[in-house]
C-alpha cells in the first residue's frame, strides 16, 4: 500500500466521523426547532401537539346551575376559572362579548384583568350586566373572550360560553290613582285643606318622568294655594313579585268664601313614560262634597240692620307679608333659619297682645331651639314686624313642599279678640348620600391601561341621577369622564374603568363620583386610591432561549457542545497524523531493509 493511499484512507475516515457527528447534532437541533414551531403555531386550541403542555391554558370551571334573572334587573354572573397548565399566564384579560347580544346591554367597559396568573392558580370574578327591559323568557348564552400571553409575549386567545335564564317578561308600567283623602273631615267656605292621593305602579316596569297635574279650578269655588297645580314626581319603581310600588302626592287647596255649590269636582292627571319612551296618561276625579255654605240674608233684612248699626272700623287683619330661608335649597335633615314678616293690614285699627304660633301641620319641621310662640305687645295700623326661628327638616322627607301654619291671636283696643291663620309652603329636597364602599386598582405597567374597580352605595332617600366617574392624580383615566347613569335609593352597584399609571412604583390618585340630587344640585363624592406600577418588561427576542424543552434525542445520551466536537476532531486528526506517520516510517524502513 502506497503512502498516498494510506493517507487518503485515514483522512476519509476522519472526515466521515466528523460529518456523522455533526449530522447527528444538526438533526437533534432541527427536531428541537420543529417541535417548538409546531407547538407554537397550533397553540393550545387543537389539543394534539406534544408542545401544547408547555403553554398556559386558562379554562372556566362551569356550574350545572343556571343563573336566573328578570328583565330590567342586573345579571350577577360569578365566573370561576383556572390555569390548568404548569406555566404562568401574563396580562390575563377576560371580557364578556356584548356588542351583538340581544338580551344583555353593554353599559360600560367591563373586564377582569390580572398581570400574573400562576400555574394551577384559581380565581373568580362577578360580572354585573344589565338585562334589557324587553327580554323574553328563555335560556341565553353569554360568550367570554379569554386573552393572555406567555413569558415570551406570545399572545393566546380563546372563547368560553356561559348560559343564563330569563324567567319572566317585563310588561309596561301602569299607574293608578287611589286612596283619595282630605286633611279635614268637614269643609266649609273659606277653609284651606290638603288633598292627598296615592299613585300606584301596578305594571311590570318603571314609570319615568312622572308628572301630576290637578285642574278644574274656579276662583269662585276652589283654588290652589300659591297657584301650585303641578308636581314632578320622576321615576316610580315597578312592582316587585310580592307587592306594588307607590308614591303619595298632595295639593293644598282653598275654598272660596263666596262658594255657592256644596259639591265640586277636580281632575287629577298623571302623565309618564315607559322604557321605550312612549307616553301614558292616568286620570282620576276628586269629588269634594258636603261643603258648608254660609246662609245669605235677604236684602230687606240687611237694609234694616244698616239703619240700626253704628259706624265701626273694618276688622283688623294680620297676614304674613314675606318669608325666606337661610339656604337656597333645603335638603331633608338640614337645619335652617326661617325668617318671616307679618303685617297689620288695617289702615284704621291698632292691635295689641299679639300671639304668633308656628306649627308644622305634618310634623315635617322641628324647632331646634327656643319656642314656636312669639309675643308682640302692640302693632300700629299698616305696620310690620319681623321674626326668625331655627327649623330642622326631618331626615326622611321626600322631595315636596311642606306646609307651615302661622296662627295669629290678637285684639283691638276695645277688647275685641281676633284670630287668623297663614299657611306657608316650604320646599324640601330628598336627602342624597352616595358612598364609595371600596376601590381597587389592579397592578399594572407604566403608561398601560389597567382596571379600576369600585363599589358604590346610595344611602340616601332619593335617586342619584346622572352619575359620572373620573380620576385625578397619578392615575390618568383612559376615558376622561365615564357616564354611569342612575342609582335608586338603597341600591348598590359595581363599576370598572380603565386608568393608566404614569410612574413606576406607587401611583396616588382620587376617584370622583359626581351626581345630581332631586333638586338638580351637583354633588361630588371622592375617595383616595393608589396602585403599584412596574416598568414594561423586555423579553428575550430569541423564543428558544431559556425554554426547558426536551430534544427528540434520548435523555440518556450524552450531548456535546460545538467546541467539544471541534476539539475532538482536532484530537482525532492529530492521532491519525501520528499513526500515519509511524506506519509510513515503518513501511519505508522495511522497504529500505529489503533493498539492502
Q: What is the mean pLDDT of residues 550-579?
A: 61
Confidence of residue 332 (pLDDT cuts 50, 70, 90): confident
Length of the chain: 596
318-327 CB contacts, 8 Å cutoff, 24+ apart: 318/342, 318/343, 318/344, 318/345, 318/351, 318/354, 318/379, 318/408, 318/410, 318/418, 318/420, 319/343, 319/345, 319/420, 319/422, 320/406, 320/422, 320/424, 321/384, 323/424, 325/426
* pLDDT per position as a tens digit, 481-516: 888 888 888 888 888 899 999 999 999 999 999 998
Neighbours of 40 (CB within 10 A): 16
- Cβ atoms of residues 429 and 448 within 8 Å: no
Q: How high is the pLDDT of residue 561?
A: 57
Neighbours of 143 (CB within 10 A): 14
Quote the mean pLDDT of the chain.
79
The set of cell numbers assigned to 272 is 309618564
Distances from the Cα of 191 to the Cαs of 185, 207, 225, 249, in angstroms? Answer: 12, 35, 11, 20
Decide which of 431, 461, 479 is a domain's last residue. 431
* pLDDT per position as a tens digit, 518-556: 667 788 999 999 989 988 765 554 544 444 444 444 444
On whether residue 196 sits in a domain, the answer given is yes
- Cβ atoms of residues 455 and 492 within 8 Å: yes
Based on the domain organization, do 337 and 420 belong to the same domain?
yes
For residue 307, pLDDT beyond 60: no
d(CA 593, CA 454): 104
CATH code of the domain containing 421: 2.60.40.10
Based on the domain organization, do 35 and 56 belong to the same domain?
no
Based on the domain organization, do 540 and 561 belong to the same domain?
no
Q: How high is the pLDDT of residue 21?
A: 43
Distances from the Cα of 68 to the Cαs of 137, 140, 164, 369, 483, in angstroms? Answer: 10, 11, 6, 54, 28
Which one has a higher pLDDT value, 41 or 529?
A: 529
On whether residue 307 sits in a domain, the answer given is no
Based on the domain organization, do 118 and 182 belong to the same domain?
no
Q: How high is the pLDDT of residue 544?
A: 47
On whether residue 122 sits in a domain, the answer given is yes
Based on the domain organization, do 143 and 56 belong to the same domain?
yes
Neighbours of 541 (CB within 10 A): 8
Give the 3-state DSSP-derived string for 159-192, with helices as H, strands as E and coil as C. EEEEEEEECCCCCCCCEEEEEEEECCCCCECCCE
* pLDDT per position as a tens digit, 156-209: 998 999 999 998 877 788 888 888 888 888 888 888 888 888 898 887 788 889
With pLDDT > 90 as the criterion, what percentage of the chain qualifies? 20
Q: What is the mean pLDDT of residues 254-276?
A: 88
In sequence order, the β-bridge partners of residue 568 are: none
The set of cell numbers assigned to 161 is 360560553
Q: What is the mean pLDDT of residues 561-579?
A: 70
Q: What angle do the packed helices 562-595 and 3-42 form, to 10 degrees?
A: 170
Q: How high is the pLDDT of residue 469?
A: 93
Decide which of 431, 454, 479 is a domain's last residue. 431
On whether residue 310 sits in a domain, the answer given is no
Based on the domain organization, do 189 and 264 belong to the same domain?
yes
The set of cell numbers assigned to 181 is 283623602
Q: How high is the pLDDT of residue 551?
A: 44
The kind and range of the H/E element at 445 are strand 444-445
Q: How high is the pLDDT of residue 246?
A: 79
Residues ≥6 apart with Cβ < 8 Å to 9:
none
Local structure of residue 519 (DSSP, 8 states): T
d(CA 34, CA 548): 15
- Cβ atoms of residues 77 and 162 within 8 Å: yes
Based on the domain organization, do 192 and 79 belong to the same domain?
no
Q: What is the mean pLDDT of residues 412-434?
A: 86
What is the total count of domains within the chain? 5
Neighbours of 54 (CB within 10 A): 19
Which one has a higher pLDDT value, 307 or 259?
A: 259
- Cβ atoms of residues 444 and 476 within 8 Å: no
On whether residue 503 sits in a domain, the answer given is yes
35: left (phi > 0), else alpha (psi -120 to 50), else beta?
A: alpha
Based on the domain organization, do 536 and 578 belong to the same domain?
no
Range of the domain at 226: 171-294
d(CA 40, CA 55): 9
Q: How high is the pLDDT of residue 72?
A: 81
Of the listed ranges 46-60, 137-151, 527-541, the least confidently predicted one is 46-60
For residue 258, pLDDT beyond 90: no
d(CA 568, CA 420): 124
On whether residue 161 sits in a domain, the answer given is no
- Cβ atoms of residues 220 and 258 within 8 Å: yes
First-residue to last-residue Cα distance in the chain: 20
Based on the domain organization, do 417 and 468 belong to the same domain?
no
Of the listed ranges 25-29, 98-102, 437-441, 556-560, the least confidently predicted one is 25-29
For residue 564, pLDDT beyond 70: no
* pLDDT per position as a tens digit, 338-374: 898 999 988 888 999 999 999 887 788 888 887 889 8
In sequence order, the β-bridge partners of residue 302 are: none
The set of cell numbers assigned to 230 is 303641578
Based on the domain organization, do 56 and 46 belong to the same domain?
no
SS3 248: strand
In sequence order, what E strands does 461-504 have? 464-473, 475-477, 482-487, 492-501
Sheet arrangement for strand 351-360: 373-379, 351-360, 400-412, 417-428
Based on the domain organization, do 469 and 541 belong to the same domain?
yes
Q: What is the mean pLDDT of residues 385-394?
A: 90
In the chain, the largest separation of any two C-alpha atoms, in whole Å, equals 192
On whether residue 156 sits in a domain, the answer given is no
Q: How high is the pLDDT of residue 355?
A: 93
Half-sphere exposure of 163 (CA within 13 A, CB side): 8
Based on the domain organization, do 375 and 426 belong to the same domain?
yes
On whether residue 300 sits in a domain, the answer given is no
Q: How high is the pLDDT of residue 407?
A: 93
Q: What is the mean pLDDT of residues 326-347?
A: 87
Q: Write down the residue that cell numbers 291663620 correspond to.
A: 421
d(CA 403, CA 425): 4
Amino acid at each position: 500500500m502506497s503512502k498516498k493511499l494510506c493517507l487518503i484512507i485515514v483522512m476519509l475516515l476522519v472526515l466521515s466521523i466528523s460529518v456523522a457527528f455533526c449530522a447527528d447534532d444538526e438533526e437533534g437541533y432541527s427536531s428541537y426547532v420543529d417541535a417548538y414551531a409546531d407547538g407554537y403555531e397550533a397553540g393550545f386550541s387543537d389539543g394534539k401537539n406534544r408542545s401544547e403542555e408547555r403553554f398556559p391554558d386558562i379554562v372556566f370551571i362551569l356550574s350545572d346551575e343556571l343563573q336566573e334573572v328578570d328583565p330590567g334587573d342586573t345579571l350577577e354572573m360569578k365566573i370561576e376559572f383556572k390555569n390548568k397548565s404548569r406555566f404562568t399566564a401574563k396580562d390575563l384579560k377576560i371580557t364578556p362579548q356584548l356588542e351583538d347580544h340581544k338580551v344583555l346591554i353593554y353599559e360600560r367597559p367591563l373586564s377582569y384583568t390580572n398581570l400574573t396568573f400562576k400555574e394551577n392558580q384559581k380565581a373568580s370574578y362577578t360580572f354585573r350586566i344589565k338585562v334589557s327591559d324587553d327580554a323574553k323568557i328563555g335560556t341565553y348564552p353569554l360568550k367570554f373572550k379569554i386573552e393572555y400571553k406567555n413569558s415570551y409575549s406570545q399572545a393566546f386567545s380563546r372563547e368560553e360560553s356561559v348560559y343564563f335564564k330569563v324567567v319572566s317578561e317585563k310588561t309596561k308600567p301602569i299607574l293608578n290613582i287611589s286612596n283619595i283623602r282630605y286633611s279635614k273631615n268637614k269643609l266649609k267656605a273659606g277653609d284651606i285643606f290638603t288633598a292627598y292621593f296615592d299613585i300606584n305602579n301596578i305594571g311590570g316596569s318603571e314609570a319615568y318622568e312622572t308628572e301630576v297635574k290637578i285642574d278644574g279650578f274656579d276662583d269662585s269655588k276652589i283654588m290652589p294655594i300659591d297657584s301650585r297645580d303641578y308636581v314632578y314626581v320622576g321615576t316610580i319603581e315597578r312592582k316587585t313579585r310580592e307587592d306594588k310600588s307607590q308614591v303619595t302626592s298632595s295639593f293644598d287647596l282653598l275654598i272660596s268664601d263666596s262658594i255657592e255649590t256644596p259639591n265640586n269636582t277636580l281632575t287629577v292627571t298623571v302623565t309618564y313614560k315607559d322604557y321605550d319612551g312612549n307616553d301614558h296618561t292616568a286620570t282620576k276625579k276628586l269629588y269634594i262634597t258636603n261643603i258648608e255654605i254660609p246662609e245669605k240674608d235677604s236684602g230687606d233684612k240687611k237694609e234694616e240692620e244698616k239703619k240700626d248699626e253704628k259706624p265701626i272700623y273694618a276688622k283688623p287683619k294680620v297676614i304674613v307679608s314675606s318669608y325666606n330661608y337661610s339656604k337656597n335649597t333645603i335638603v331633608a335633615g338640614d337645619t335652617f333659619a326661617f325668617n318671616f314678616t307679618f303685617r297689620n293690614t288695617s289702615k284704621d285699627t291698632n292691635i295689641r297682645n299679639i300671639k304668633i304660633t308656628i306649627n308644622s301641620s305634618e310634623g315635617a319641621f322641628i324647632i331646634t331651639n327656643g319656642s314656636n310662640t312669639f309675643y308682640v305687645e302692640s302693632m300700629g295700623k299698616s305696620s310690620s314686624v319681623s321674626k326668625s326661628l331655627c327649623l330642622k327638616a326631618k331626615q326622611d322627607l321626600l322631595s315636596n313642599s311642606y306646609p307651615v301654619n302661622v296662627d295669629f291671636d290678637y285684639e283691638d283696643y276695645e277688647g275685641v279678640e281676633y284670630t287668623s291663620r297663614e299657611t306657608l309652603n316650604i320646599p324640601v329636597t330628598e336627602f342624597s348620600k352616595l358612598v364609595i364602599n371600596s376601590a381597587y386598582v389592579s397592578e399594572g405597567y407604566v403608561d398601560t391601561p389597567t382596571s379600576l374597580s369600585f363599589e358604590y352605595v346610595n344611602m340616601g332617600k332619593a335617586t342619584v341621577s346622572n352619575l359620572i366617574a373620573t380620576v385625578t392624580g397619578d392615575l390618568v383615566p383612559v376615558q376622561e369622564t365615564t357616564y354611569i347613569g342612575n342609582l335608586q335609593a338603597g341600591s348598590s352597584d359595581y363599576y370598572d374603568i380603565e386608568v393608566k399609571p404614569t410612574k413606576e412604583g406607587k401611583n396616588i390618585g382620587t376617584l370622583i363620583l359626581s351626581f345630581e340630587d332631586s333638586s338638580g344640585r351637583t354633588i361630588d363624592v371622592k375617595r383616595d386610591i393608589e396602585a403599584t406600577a412596574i416598568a414594561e418588561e423586555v423579553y428575550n427576542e430569541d423564543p428558544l432561549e431559556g425554554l426547558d424543552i426536551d430534544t427528540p434525542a434520548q435523555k440518556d445520551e450524552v450531548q456535546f457542545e460545538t467546541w467539544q466536537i471541534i476539539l475532538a476532531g482536532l484530537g482525532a486528526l492529530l492521532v491519525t497524523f501520528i499513526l500515519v506517520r509511524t506506519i509510513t516510517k515503518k513501511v519505508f524502513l522495511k522497504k529500505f531493509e529489503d533493498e539492502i
